[in-house]
Structure 1
């Protein structure tokens, strides 16, 4: 089967790279018709300054005439796949793909309306821009022949939010890049060189991650032998900085950025890694990149319980602790449980049976099952 990857998809996102590699490993022939307008932009909601926004907008819109011209000259193919972020892409390619009698699949992955309005609350749902965004996304979801999210729970949420028929939206997991997140070989465990428990959080500082609850848990455990490393920046960074300034926590270390290729070393050095703790409906609907990466690295994990996470993991200490959302005390309690388990000083290797279910090949297999189920071929 020949698939065209078309549009302005962001190759800086693991989701995009994993799906692309998964398709190749499953025997799909790929043709890329791509304009890389997102290079160097980690968090699209944090683009600031009139000149930066205008420059990105002009670069983004300006690439489409060439992309469409290139598409019309492509050889025959069986499917057009729009990767994230593809809100405008799917609307623009729809009529051209229709003229060639080719179906369009859209990896929605992150709903722009849900993220900006419902989850991060950057504008009110009554704001005209919010209504416009909802309308554009409503239309885009109906322009594609196949749409999918990252979890079944997230797919159901999108169906509800945009009034889609039941089972319209499918799901393909994010997965993790084996070459970047497999446990390093021939390295000593962090527990062998540190008496204190080493806890790692990394990710964008956004409400979905619930970093404030991590700080509160650190306060509850301020007298325990626990060291905390936070890696990230974003929307909530100022609030977290203020929390730490008001009540300093010497055992909490915060660095804003680590090279993606170096993350595995931070994960390997941790005794336990943290997922997400936000209380929003979106937080209950996703399995974030880092959870898959932590599972691939075979490290213990604490994250919020939800229907989405249960698609991948069950409560299974000392490897998986699923706690109520927005509950700093529950997070502190889980850490204390892990301290007790760690006292036997044995190396904990986790999630061994899941590694082959979340690599690129497995993600490609999920995509094949999705399109077969939709009956487009």
Structure 2
């Protein structure tokens, strides 16, 4: 990846925290090829504070000496305002998400026809138009950027996510007491709409009285969401990465998704958790969509697909996989 940058000077800019996995992945790949990689980014936890500090650093940075400017996560926050500084450099952007798609169709913060919706669309299009190379996370997402947002297909390049293998690897640890002797199923997520947690919860509800199962749901579920209760269902609000890796390791089956069938973005992205499960070598259930099929196949051991949007189908798939292991 990025072989064309060999012996070139690169300026990497990001408004996301520097230890964010996508940043560390791209910086590693850039440093493997480029002669020099300089970084504008900060470690502050506050996004507005990070943005202000990045803007301030950009103000006093001369970009003329760089062959390439690479803008990481959310280039829409940088490119429309600072492109005048990048005119003498090739511009690479990681168009990881569309602001328009995410805020209008995924999280439904704005109507697509509202002033804010149209503004987000224009920002997306302007950012894509000014880039010389567009990095995206899946071919399906890239096709959407080309068809709906006007990205030039020849500029698109796919870079799939990866797991941090210093944390996520097979550990062969023991199960907690409540999970011993049971088929242990794990789901974790930040409870975003496209993840389809209602499908996961419905599947858990259908299997809650089966003593052969033990379910772990890790994520910040709100008070407004009805959670199935049972002796074999355990909730954790959140875990550190190391703790999460341990939970994945002792589980028999992990739920990857995405499971929401109504949000189209869910069909164009591979869930980040799938990369973690795969790194630990765990069987997993993925949503049936084109994006997931770009990397995964049921011909591979431990890879299963299920119809998106159906808790009933997910519960049936979980039972079927559990019976295979008995």
Please say whether Structure 1 and Structure 2 have the same fold, judged by a TM-score greater than 0.5. Answer: yes
1:163 Cα offset (Å) = 2.7
Can you list the C-alpha shifts for 1:34-92, whole angstroms capped at 9, x where unaligned? 2445x266xxxxxxxxxxxxxx3x763464133231x21x6833211100022121223
Write the distance in 1 (CA, Å) between the matches of 2:40 and 2:50: 16
Write the distance in 2 (CA, Å) between the matches of 1:85 and 1:173: 16
**Relative to 1, partners in 2 of residues 1:157 and 1:29: Cα closer, same or farther, differing over 3 Å?**
same
Aligned with residue 258 of structure 1, among 235, 239, 242: 239
Write the distance in 1 (CA, Å) between the matches of 2:107 and 2:270: 17
- Contact 2:41–2:54 (CA<8 Å) still a contact in 1? no
Matches within 5 A, 1:1-377: 1-26=8-33, 29-36=36-43, 39=45, 56=48, 60-61=51-52, 63-69=54-60, 71-72=61-62, 76-98=65-87, 101-184=88-171, 187-188=173-174, 194-224=180-210, 225-233=212-220, 237-240=222-225, 243-244=226-227, 248-276=229-257, 277-279=259-261, 280-316=263-299, 319-343=302-326
- Flag structure 1 segments of 5+ consecutive residues without an equivalent: 42-55, 344-377
Write the distance in 2 (CA, Å) between the matches of 1:158 and 1:183: 36
- Contact 2:186–2:255 (CA<8 Å) still a contact in 1? yes
Write the distance in 1 (CA, Å) between the matches of 2:249 and 2:112: 42
- Under a length normalisation based on structure 2, what TM-score does the superposition of the two structures give? 0.89
Can you list the C-alpha shifts for 1:297-339, whole angstroms capped at 9, x where unaligned? 1100011011111111012476011111111122111111121
Other structure's SS at 1:180 match: coil
**Relative to 1, partners in 2 of residues 1:97 and 1:118: Cα closer, same or farther, differing over 3 Å?**
same
Larger relative CO (CA 8 A, sep 6+): 1 or 2? 1
Matched residue count? 316
Write the distance in 1 (CA, Å) between the matches of 2:175 and 2:217: 20
Write the distance in 1 (CA, Å) between the matches of 2:185 and 2:35: 40
- Contact 2:9–2:34 (CA<8 Å) still a contact in 1? no
Mean CA deviation greater in 125-134 or 25-34: 25-34
Can you list the C-alpha shifts for 1:92-125, whole angstroms capped at 9, x where unaligned? 3321121xx2111000111111111111212221
Can you list the C-alpha shifts for 1:138-167, whole angstroms capped at 9, x where unaligned? 111112111121001111011122133434
Other structure's SS at 1:147 match: strand
